[in-house]
Structure 1
């Protein structure tokens, strides 16, 4: 996997550039761009399909095509949707992700440290 030197901030920039292209197409085809609720439905639709792909990966749901390739594609699209929605809602997703993961990590480390060990 190639590493993006800009991390999530670079990924966000790419996501918004791609979204701008979609907005141009929507303007041509619909005479308007998708609303925030339409964007949210697009995200939830792709996220739900990830669930089906996980079932397919576990051999409990059949799909046509390459399950691994589809999973990579849909997971990437879900990340794209998250960047798009965050932008529309005024959320700095790279900053929010870092702050949230730091908070969760600290809480889990504290819990693990304070929890009784395996008979130790």
Structure 2
């Protein structure tokens, strides 16, 4: 699924952000604050997608591709914080859908 080195890089980036949170706010963000950041980024991505479809005007300083990747990063981060093996869960999810839809591997 996701290469181990990619997951390690995601974790290293989150660790660096945690250090900044502690430095500036004396404690790391809670899971709820991480989720709030993700939902904010999903809103930004939504506007970027609407802009790409000609249904909104571009007011964000972000690129759609980068924002999509950032949202995936947040999901990986949340899975880690909730002790969810995202690799295993993705495999289970995909296998179930493939079976349900009659998709042969």
TM-score, normalised by the number of residues in structure 1: 0.78
Compute the displacement of 1:41 (Å).
0.6
Residue of structure 1 aligned with 2:88, choices 82, 95, 100: 95
In structure 1, stretches of 5+ residues that fail to align are 1-5, 111-120
Q: Indicate conservation of the 8 Å contact 2:10/2:76, yes or no.
A: yes
1:75-98 Cα distance to aligned partner (Å, 9 max, x none): 111011011100000001111111
- 1:53-72 to 2 correspondences below 5 Å: 53-64=48-59, 70-72=63-65
**Shift of residue 13 of structure 1?**
1.5
SS in 1 for 2:63: helix
For the 8 Å contact 1:86–1:93, the answer to whether it is kept is: yes
| SS at 2:47 equivalent | helix
Compare CA radii of gyration and give the structure with the larger one: 1
After TM superposition, the score normalised by the length of structure 2 is 0.88
Equivalent pairs counted in the alignment come to: 103
| Partner residue in 1 for 2:23 | 28
